[in-house]
Amino acid sequence: MPGHYGKPTFIIMKKQMLDGYMPDFGGPDYYRMKKSMHDEYMEEESEAKLEADPKHKGTIKKLNEVVEGLRKASKLHGEQADTLEGLAQTLSRSSED
């Protein structure tokens, strides 16, 4: 084995052969790259004006009708609650007399 120490090993030879062909890992790390991609995407989204798909117009109209119906029902329930509250107060006064 005395002559073995002077010979270059396979790893050293491979490194010498691929010296100019090795990838450069000097760029940003995974987290920074992912964040920069997210930031670019968000900029594009904010710049683009989003419009409703025409096929959803009927659904949007129906949703707005349901919203209007719920508001009317809430108002009606509020009025009914006020009426019942007034009736309860009237009955509580008359029972004490």
Q: Where are the domains of the chain?
A: 53-97
* Residues 62-80 pLDDT 10s: 999 999 999 999 999 999 9
Q: For position 1, what pLDDT does the model report?
A: 44
User: In angstroms, rounded to a whole number, what is the distance separating the alpha carbons of residues 76 and 58?
Assistant: 27
Intervals of the chain under pLDDT 70: 1-6, 20-25, 45-52, 94-97
**How much is the pLDDT for 47?**
60
pTM, full prediction: 0.39
- What count of Cα atoms within 13 Å lies in the side-chain half-sphere of residue 10? 0
Cα distances (angstroms) measured from residue 67 to each of 33, 53, 55, 76, 92 = 43, 20, 20, 14, 37
Q: Is 57 exposed, middle or buried (0-12, 13-18, 19+ CB in 10 A)?
A: exposed
Give the pLDDT score at 80: 94
